[in-house]
Structure 1
Amino acid sequence: MSTTRSSRPMTAAGGVVLLLALGLVALMLVRPSSSAGSASSAPAPADTSVDVGFARDMSIHHQQAVEMSFVVRDRTSDVAVRRLAYDIINTQANQRGMMLGWLEMWGRAKSSDAPPMKWMGHTFTPRGDGSLMPGMATDSELDALRAAKGRAAEVLYLKLMTTHHRAGAEMAQAAADAAGTKEIRNLAAGMVRGQQSEIGLMADMLKERGSTA
């Protein structure tokens, strides 16, 4: 796999959120700390570590979730769906900023030749259709979401995001269990809780719209 692995570019608004998050993380990590073993004094995780692999892969995974949420926000006027999309945009863009910020502080590249999910002990071979990791939507599915309106857009978004969250929660649980840094363990554990909660919420929202995941 090439070092340029990435999903489609985020919208300008998403980029602004990401840059703000990166700045906050950088300030937090370089601030002096009196506690031993702080993020600024602990050895950086190895390039092949769970911590670095997770930060790289989940940043890409999150990027697509943010992109899909921006799309559906503009394809429906439904308050509940727009609120969910807004929450995902803010949460995942900020988490992505934190992970990219840690990679920067650790002196690790933000992309790699390694296959996705190698840090989990298994690899996923991208199919060349935009789905770079399990749970990610294909280019065709993203095009369908952009073309949909109203209830159709809501249902498609909720289905795609449910699949996205299920795979994301599995990845996050693996990192929460095996990462060497408390920063990644804590962030990943929070992702598991948040995404599982949203999976339940989306199941109810799909049921209200006469559909299932």
Structure 2
Amino acid sequence: MTSEEPVEQPIWSRWVIIGGTLLAVLLIGATAGMFLTRAVDDSPAATPAAGSVEVGFAQDMSTHHLQAVTMAGWARDHSTDPEIRQLAFDIERTQLEQVGRMKGWLMLWDQPEQAIGAPMQWMTEPMAGHGDMPGMSMAPVSVNPAGSALMPGMATDAQLAKLRSLSGKELDVFFLQLMLRHHQGGTAMAQYAASHSSLPALKALVTSIMTSQGAEMDQMKLMLSSRGAQPLPA
């Protein structure tokens, strides 16, 4: 081998770099979440309490986002399609940063990272466009076979198992279908929170979510169409 020939980077090294990058994104988001919230209002009287829209949204949306990160991580590691792998990495990076912000808020507010009991108890009115779903005003839209509640758009355990069992084009299509529906559910939750909270930091995060997920939903619809597939039924 001559000195001019490039040395290929080991695969394990690339994954270590990617993992380190995603961890850094999460930490940056947490730091930004705490800093921006303090900068807006540092008075104890303004601190959201347990059961508030702000606390409930931060707890539930963090959980919602982390499922998207899990699905995206699987697709990034197992798809052979460069377009799918790039989309998956973008979703991981964006949503981890947003999770970091929300966990930063919860730390500042002295609240647990996960809600106690069923999710979405902070939602006391039907979501826009979801009023026809049974129990949407106070409860999740579906339940796993094991009995655990699911938030709008979240995949069931069976669907996650199916995703892990697929390969090739079937994996790519099912990932796009699950992630598109996941984004749609998360977007509705974010819109509800923004319309029921006056917290500037929350409204800023919702704007970020709407911008990133709106663009990704448009992209996923085009990617499904180009692969001869359709979104999952609502």
Bucket of the pairwise TM-score, normalised by the shorter protein:
0.7 to 0.9
CA displacement at 1:73 relative to structure 2: 0.8
Change (3 A) 1:191 1:176: same
CA displacement at 1:13 relative to structure 2: 3.4
Query: Does the 8 Å CA contact 1:59/1:96 hold for their aligned counterparts?
Result: yes
Please give the TM-score of this superposition, normalised by the length of structure 2.
Answer: 0.76
Query: Does the 8 Å CA contact 2:33/2:104 hold for their aligned counterparts?
Result: yes
Give the structure 1 partner of residue 70 of structure 2. Answer: 67
Give the structure 2 partner of residue 128 of structure 1. Answer: 144
Query: Does the 8 Å CA contact 1:18/1:96 hold for their aligned counterparts?
Result: no
Write the deviation string for residues 17-54 of structure 1: whole angstroms up to 9, x where unpaired: 465235523662587x5xxxx24336211212111110
Query: Does the 8 Å CA contact 1:116/1:133 hold for their aligned counterparts?
Result: yes
- The percent identity for this pair of structures is 39
Count of residue correspondences:
197
Write the deviation string for residues 142-186 of structure 1: whole angstroms up to 9, x where unpaired: 111111112111000000001101100000111121113100111
CA displacement at 1:192 relative to structure 2: 1.9
Give the structure 2 partner of residue 88 of structure 1. Answer: 91
Query: Does the 8 Å CA contact 2:30/2:97 hold for their aligned counterparts?
Result: no
- Separation in structure 2 between the aligned mates of residue 149 and residue 166 of structure 1, nearest angstrom: 25
Matches within 5 A, 1:37-116: 38-41=40-43, 43-116=46-119
CA displacement at 1:128 relative to structure 2: 3.4
Change (3 A) 1:57 1:99: same
Q: Give unmatched runs, 5+ long, in structure 2.
A: 1-17, 125-136
- Separation in structure 1 between the aligned mates of residue 202 and residue 175 of structure 2, nearest angstrom: 28
- Separation in structure 1 between the aligned mates of residue 26 and residue 169 of structure 2, nearest angstrom: 33
1:179 counterpart letter in structure 2: S
Q: Which runs of 4+ in 1 moved over 4 A?
A: none
Change (3 A) 1:27 1:136: closer
Query: Does the 8 Å CA contact 1:17/1:93 hold for their aligned counterparts?
Result: no
- Greater Cα radius of gyration, structure 1 or 2: 2
Q: Give unmatched runs, 5+ long, in structure 1.
A: 1-11
The secondary structure found in structure 1 opposite 2:193 is helix
RCO (CA 8 Å, sep 6+): is it higher in 1 or 2?
1
The secondary structure found in structure 2 opposite 1:48 is coil
Query: Does the 8 Å CA contact 2:29/2:96 hold for their aligned counterparts?
Result: no
- Separation in structure 2 between the aligned mates of residue 23 and residue 95 of structure 1, nearest angstrom: 8
Query: Does the 8 Å CA contact 1:75/1:149 hold for their aligned counterparts?
Result: yes
2:67 counterpart letter in structure 1: Q
